């Protein structure tokens, strides 16, 4: 199945959209170019033979000490009873004032709204054109992104000891 979808994506968007396939995990992963992610997502949702109508999860991965992050998208096609995993790599210089950035998929799958807010809140990944990108688990004035491997725990919050 993964080769069929890869071929469909290359035929639709060209060879630069699909950067490769990782067949080592239990479920193969299509590596997608970040600039093509939104178009690929609409295609996978709307195209006969794919119809990935459900985004079940987005996982953000920090490859520290490397200056890169990844996003892993877990898709399901309920009518076809198939699953697909997409992955994109995002370079970053770890500057908290210039977050890694990718297009939001909230216009494709409504569930992306909350998953992207979580990735933003805890990992510091910015989703362009997100309808309401703000923290979802931490207070709005929290400093830093606690799931980053280089995050240093705050000792106080508004004068209250945390530890």
The total of structural domains in the chain comes to 1
Cβ distance 42 to 36 under 8 Å? Answer: no
Q: Is the pLDDT of residue 93 over 80?
A: no
Domain ranges, residue 119: 2-161
Mean pLDDT of 29-53: 97
Rounded to 5 degrees, φ, ψ at 7 are -65, -40
- What's this model's pTM, rounded to 2 decimal places? 0.93
Q: Which CATH number does the domain housing residue 40 bear? A: 3.30.460.80
102-119 pLDDT, tens digit per residue, is: 999 999 999 999 999 999
Q: Which residue has the higher pLDDT, 163 or 122?
A: 122
Distances (CA, A) of 66 to 6, 42, 59, 98, 150: 28, 31, 18, 16, 11
Bridge partners of 160? 157
* Poorest-pLDDT segment among 78-87, 94-103, 108-117: 94-103
Q: Which residue has the higher pLDDT, 130 or 162?
A: 130
Q: Is the pLDDT of residue 153 over 80?
A: yes
């Amino acid at each position: 199945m993964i080769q069929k979808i890869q071929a469909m994506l290359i035929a639709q968007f060209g060879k630069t959209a699909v950067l490769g396939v990782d067949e080592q995990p239990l479920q193969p992963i299509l590596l997608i170019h970040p600039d093509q992610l939104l178009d690929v997502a609409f295609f996978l949702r709307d195209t006969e033979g794919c119809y990935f109508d459900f985004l079940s999860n987005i996982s953000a991965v920090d490859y520290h000490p490397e200056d890169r992050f990844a996003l892993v998208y877990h898709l399901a096609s309920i009518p076809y009873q198939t699953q697909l995993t997409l992955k994109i790599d995002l370079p970053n210089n770890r500057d908290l004032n210039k977050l890694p950035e990718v297009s939001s998929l909230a216009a494709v799958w409504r569930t992306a709204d909350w998953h992207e807010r979580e990735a933003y809140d805890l990992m510091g990944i910015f989703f362009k054109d997100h309808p309401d990108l703000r923290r979802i688990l931490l207070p709005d004035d929290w400093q830093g992104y606690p799931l980053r491997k280089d995050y240093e725990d705050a000792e106080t919050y508004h004068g209250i000891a945390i530890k």
